[in-house]
Amino acid sequence: MISTSRRLLALSTAIVIASTAVASAEPSAELIEAAKKEGMLTTIALPHDWCGYGDVIAAFKAKYPEITVNELNPDAGSADEIEAIKANKDNKGPQAPDVIDVGLAFGPQAKAEGLLQPYKVSTWDEIPENVKDAEGYWYGDYYGVMSFFVNKDLVTNAPKDWADLLKPEYAGQVALAGPPLTSNQAILGVLAAGLSTDAKSGKDAGEAGLKYFAELNKSGNFVPTVGKAGTLAQGSTPIVIAWDYNALSWAKTLNGNPPTEVVVPEKGVLAGVYVQGISAYAPHPNAAKLWMEHLYSDDGQLGWLKGFCHPIRFNAMAKANKIPQDLLDALPPAAAYEKAYFPTLQEVDDNKAAVTAGWDSVVGANVQ
């Protein structure tokens, strides 16, 4: 059981404060040369409209033109990334991912299964202790909160909270931004719904979230289609439950056609951290390490922030005045995040187990 005081964490302080000295180390010349000799980096599950990854990848290519970036299955979920490593243990070809970007629960899982290799980037000390493996097998990269992305052409009265989504006026309109058996975003969407019912632990909140979605499905409000910018614009999923940074990025892409709104709910304001890791079987381990150095550099962190994600070094960089004001202004007002709750790793694990085991039997909607 987690106390109320621990649950209500402000976004600006929820991630444990990093060290006061902002790191400025660069990757070694030896690492850069070794990565260039490998000549390729294979990523997986990095849509260009997710967290600014399009520009982040482009910046890496521009900095290291000798390294080809091979992008696998941009729409894969966290579980798919883990399976891709397992399926390609003996394969050094282009289908074997070098690096993964997965939900918090999947980092320790991958380490326990021997699927990751340790690496500590130059800015390691500025990654908060509570969101990184002490041995360097996985480490937090960015975070945001669960939100509602709304098509204002079709939804004139935008929902303000989870309870609103159950109202008859939202019949056939509500979707998750991923399959709840494999997508970390969808799995944590269920947890957020459960937290809105005042359930207190990961397992209890997960089960409460399943009951919520069962009711949403029974009412006819739930749409068993993976929601994204395109489906929202087309009208097949007028309300999509998604991370705020995805919703804000989609809104930017749609550019007012149709008009949209990003709503941070009043209850169940769930914050989620994603983590990076290098495959233990990476065909290009040096390129993978150089990629991590890129992501955790000032430029890489600001690249994520341009994609509306809070980078993991946010606190240290803000203290050193390294964050341009226009990037801060592009985010929703800080007050929207005042009730944001960062679940513990155990709560995330318990929720994942509850959701993946119970979705089919409790909710019964096959999300595709």
Could you tell me if residue 268 is left (phi over 0), alpha (psi between -120 and 50 degrees) or otherwise beta?
A: left
174/239 Cα distance (integer angstroms): 5
Q: What is the pLDDT of residues 288-310, one digit of tens each?
A: 999 999 999 999 999 999 999 99
Give the pLDDT confidence score for residue 25 in this predicted structure.
Answer: 66
Q: What is the pLDDT of residues 238-255, one digit of tens each?
A: 999 999 999 999 999 999
Tell me what the mean pLDDT of segment 141-146 comes to: 94
Q: How confident is the model at residue 6 (pLDDT cuts 50, 70, 90)?
A: very low
CATH 1.10.260.40 fits 4-143+272-332, yes or no: no
Backbone angles phi, psi at 140, to 5 degrees: -60, 145
**% of the chain surpassing 90 pLDDT:** 83
Parse the chain into domains and list their residue ranges: 4-143+272-332, 144-269+339-363
Q: What is the pLDDT of residues 296-354, one digit of tens each?
A: 999 999 999 999 999 999 888 988 999 999 998 888 877 777 788 888 889 999 999 99
User: Residue 256: pLDDT above 50?
Assistant: yes
Residue 183 is which amino acid? S
Q: How confident is the model at residue 200 (pLDDT cuts 50, 70, 90)?
A: confident
User: Residue 102: pLDDT above 60?
Assistant: yes
Question: Do the domains 144-269+339-363 and 4-143+272-332 match in fold?
Answer: yes
Strand partners, 132: 139
CATH of 144-269+339-363, one of 3.90.1300.10, 3.40.50.300, 3.40.190.10, 1.10.600.10: 3.40.190.10
Q: What is the pLDDT of residues 110-126, one digit of tens each?
A: 999 999 999 999 999 99
Give the pLDDT confidence score for residue 26 in this predicted structure.
Answer: 83
Q: How confident is the model at residue 4 (pLDDT cuts 50, 70, 90)?
A: very low
User: Residue 5: pLDDT above 70?
Assistant: no
Q: What is the pLDDT of residues 34-60, one digit of tens each?
A: 999 999 999 999 999 899 999 999 999
The answer to whether 291 and 122 are in contact (CB under 8 A) is: no
Backbone angles phi, psi at 310, to 5 degrees: -85, 110
Give the pLDDT confidence score for residue 16 in this predicted structure.
Answer: 40
Look at strands 139-151 and 116-117 and give their pairing. Answer: unpaired
